[in-house]
Structure 1
Amino acid sequence: IKPQPIDTFDIENWFRRCPYGKVGDRLGVKETHYRWGHWAKNGLTKAGKQAWKFVATNNEIAYLDHPPSLINANRSRNINGWIKRPSIFLHKRFIRIWLEITEVRVERVQEITEDDAIKEGIIPKWKDGIPIRHDGSGGICREAFARLWDSLDAKRGYGWEVNPWVFVLEFKQI
Structure 2
Amino acid sequence: MTRRIVKPQPNEDGISFMKNPPLDWEQINKQEWKPWKLETEEGESISLKCPYGQPGHILWVRETFYAYGSWAIDKFGAKFSDKTLSFGDYKYADNPPVKVELKRGSLLGWYKRPSLFMPKAACRTWLEITNIKVERLQDISEDDAIAEGVIEYQDGTFKNYFKKKGLREQDGVECLLAKGSFQSLWHSINGQENWDKNPWVWVISFKEVTNSF
Q: TM-score under structure 2 normalisation?
A: 0.65
Q: Which runs of 5+ in 1 are unaligned?
A: 45-50
- SS of the equivalent of 1:123 reads coil
CA-CA distance at 1:161 after TM superposition: 1.0
Matched residue count: 161
Question: Within 5 A, what are the aligned runs for 1:1-40?
Answer: 1-5=6-10, 6=18, 7-12=22-27, 13=36, 17-40=49-72
Aligned-pair CA distance for 1:9: 4.8
Q: Which residue of 2 aligns with 1:94?
A: 122
Contact 2:65–2:93 (Cα < 8 Å) also in 1: yes
**Contact 2:67–2:82 (CA<8 Å) still a contact in 1?**
yes
Q: CA separation of 1:134/1:23 partners in 2, compared to 1, >3 Å: closer, same or farther?
A: same
TM-score by length of structure 1 reads 0.77
> Secondary structure in 2 aligned to 1:151?
helix
Between structures 1 and 2, the one with greater helix share: 1
State the alpha-carbon separation in 2 of the partners of residues 161 and 11 from structure 1: 24
- Structure 1 CA distance, aligned partners of 2:207 and 2:156? 31
Structure 2's unaligned 5+ residue stretches are 1-5, 11-17, 28-35, 38-46, 158-170
Q: Which amino acid aligns with 2:53?
A: G
Q: 1:143 to 1:9 in 2, by over 3 A?
A: closer
Q: Secondary structure at the match of 2:151?
A: coil
Pick the aligned partner of 2:184 from 137, 147, 165. 147
Q: Structure 2 vs 1, CA of residues 142 and 43 (structure 1 numbering), >3 Å: closer, same or farther?
A: farther
SS in 2 for 1:8: strand
Structure 1 equivalent of residue 79 of structure 2? 53
For residue 125 of structure 1, report the CA deviation from its aligned partner. 4.1
Q: 2 CA distance for matches of 1:144 and 1:43?
A: 48
**1:100 CA drift (Å):** 0.9
Structure 2 counterpart of 1:72, one-letter code: E
Given candidates 101, 111, 127, the residue that maps to 1:72 is: 101
Q: Which structure has more RCO (C-alpha within 8 Å, separation ≥ 6)?
A: 1
- 1:94 partner letter: A
1:81 alignment partner in structure 2: 109
Aligned residues of 2:25 and 2:134 also touching (Cα < 8 A)? no
Q: Residue 160 and residue 52 in structure 1: after superposition, are their counterparts in 2 closer, same or farther (change >3 A)?
A: same
2-side partners of 1:98 and 1:71: how far apart?
Answer: 27
Aligned residues with identical type, % of pairs: 39
Letter aligned with residue 191 of structure 2: A
CA RMSD of aligned residues (A): 2.7
- Seen in structure 2, the aligned counterparts of structure 1 residues 58 and 124 have a Cα distance that, compared at 3 Å, is closer
Give the corresponding residue for 1:47: none
Partner of 2:207: 172
Quote the offset at 1:170 in angstroms: 0.7
- Measured against aligned partners, the alpha-carbon deviations of 1:53-74 in whole angstroms (never above 9, x if no partner) come to 3221342421223221111121
Moved over 3 A (4+): 9-12, 132-136
Deviations 1:1-23 (CA, angstroms, capped at 9, x unpaired): 11113513555425860000101
The whole-number CA distance in structure 2 between the counterparts of 1:42 and 1:114 is: 54
